[in-house]
Amino acid sequence: MSDKIQVAIKVRPLVTSEKDVGEFWRVNGNELYLLNNDKQPSGEIFAYDHVFANNSTNMEVFEKVVKPLVNRAVKGFNATIFAYGQTSSGKTHTMLGDQNEAGITQLAVSSMFDFMEKSLGREFLVRASYMEIYNEKVNDLLEQQNNNLKIREGDGKIVVQHLKE
């Protein structure tokens, strides 16, 4: 994978309030095109690194976009993934999932821990913090220091040690 920033679009299914209006976006490969009011292609086509149609799952997004970055991160490269979009566009659903499907955050974390479990003889330090940027303000910076975990090998087992109680 190259180092460039990648942009992936995930089209979400229509929510109830939008059902009367109908779909205006169509996906074709890694392109999105817009339909006009008569539901005909308007001629505007937008191309991205990846486009996921409205029936795609968070697991598909994870496999295509997130997993390669996790694989690089555990080898020591920096990686950032963030969701950007207008209100109700599906950011929370993609990042955190719901009762029916995990979000890409959970999938990324379990993938990292799978990797660490298999990497005997190496020591990992995992830190997590959580914050929200809302209306361009950083809110509720919840530095979850209690979640600082130290993972190390002990007698062939992975030991998870809480750094702070």
Ligand X SMILES: Nc1ncnc2c1ncn2[C@@H]1O[C@H](COP(=O)(O)OP(=O)(O)OP(=O)(O)O)[C@@H](O)[C@H]1O
Binding residues for ATP: 85-92
Binding segment for ligand X (CB under 6 A), chosen from 9-17, 29-37, 103-111, 154-162, is: 9-17
Q: Is 41 in the site for ligand X (CB under 6 A)?
A: no
Question: What is the SS3 string spanning the chain?
Answer: CCCCCCCEEECCCCCHHHCCCCCCEEEECCEEEEECCCCCEEEEEEECCEEECCCCCHHHHHHHHHHHHHHHHCCCCCCCCCCCCCCCCCHHHHHHECCCCECHHHHHHHHHHHHHHHCCCCCEEECCCEEEEECCEEEEEECCHHHCEEEEEECCEEEEEECCC
Q: Is 129 in the site for ligand X (CB under 6 A)?
A: no
> Binding-site residue total for ligand X (CB under 6 A)?
11
Q: Is 15 in the site for ligand X (CB under 6 A)?
A: yes
Among 88, 110, 139, 145, binds ligand X (CB under 6 A): 88
Binding segment for ligand X (CB under 6 A), chosen from 24-32, 83-91, 138-146, 157-165, is: 83-91
Task: List residues binding ligand X (CB under 6 A).
Answer: 12-13, 15, 85, 87-93
